Chains A and B, each alone.
Chain A
């Protein structure tokens, strides 16, 4: 499967994407900066890259809506999961020292992927980013 590394030598993020692509049942994956919408690396069929701005906006709008819907009025999202007819869509924000968050997006095959396992693997991959 094609993997495109944009900044070409932002090595740690490239490694992160490659690990994400190894999760069983992955169809597409993206590493992006949520605030600016900049795609740092992407892999898969190339469709995810085009939808990056909309994916970032989906996460932002969901945060806004949940902030309004909870009694606390603030929200912190660990994973945003949408089960659609073309797969599981997972958005996983990772806090960075400034700006960000960095968002890992992955689309998984409904038949081949194990959602709980994928979530677990995604957290351990992003845990390594900060360690």
Chain B
């Protein structure tokens, strides 16, 4: 079965401009053969990443661009290797992302970066068994002392033993890959356990629509959208 990135590689070679919708994996936007934006329901959007931290506007150009690049890389990790559905996805020539930040990414760079990230994840903790189940902290430390990063601390603190890593990523406004990396590190350190009542196998993996999430402040969201439009 072919992956999304093989289809995109063909479009990139033709210097295509437009959008490729691949439900439920996500949507890709190209501008003259380069990736203008990627969306994936498993990963928080740029707006979500920026509004989750409650700062109304006031982002510098570098911060906004770093944020957009982070969101595109995050979506790429899950969207590019996804299998193409049986029905050929629709390409809409000329369709631009909204808001259009005018940033562009080389597809080959994104594909290479995804491979590196996959290897990095496997190196930390080779098992994927905790990737899609509720994050469940261990009741006791498996030793006397442990060191955690800022993000690992946030994950442990916001775990309700129901939310999966992808759901915590959205709640915390952090890239899904970063949360997965932290979960693997916590698992390797013995700070997480397999939940007692795992969800039905595959359910979290296949879910295309994320569950209801805490709403972003509409004023903050509007300010962020304006800032992104002004990146041009």
A residues apposed to B, CB below 8 Å: 6-13, 16, 33, 35-38, 40, 53, 60, 63-64, 67-68, 96-100, 102, 128-131
Contact = CB atoms under 8 A, between A and B. Distances in A.
Interface residues of B, number: 38
Contacts of A13: 62, 65-66, 69
A54 B132 CA distance: 28
B215 interface: no
B174 A12 contact: no
B103 interface: yes
Contacts of B65: 10-13
Interface of B: 34, 49-50, 52-53, 55, 59-63, 65-70, 73, 102-106, 109, 113, 116-117, 120, 145, 147, 149, 151, 173-175, 177-178, 181
B contacts with A: majority SS: helix
Contacts, number: 96
A56 to B, nearest CB: 10
A97 B147 contact: no
B103 A9 contact: yes
B62 A99 contact: no
A36 B178 contact: yes
A66 to B, nearest CB: 10
A73 to B, nearest CB: 9
A100 B66 contact: yes
A98 B50 contact: yes
Q: Give the interface centre of B52, B62, B65 by most chain A CB atoms within 10 Å.
A: B62
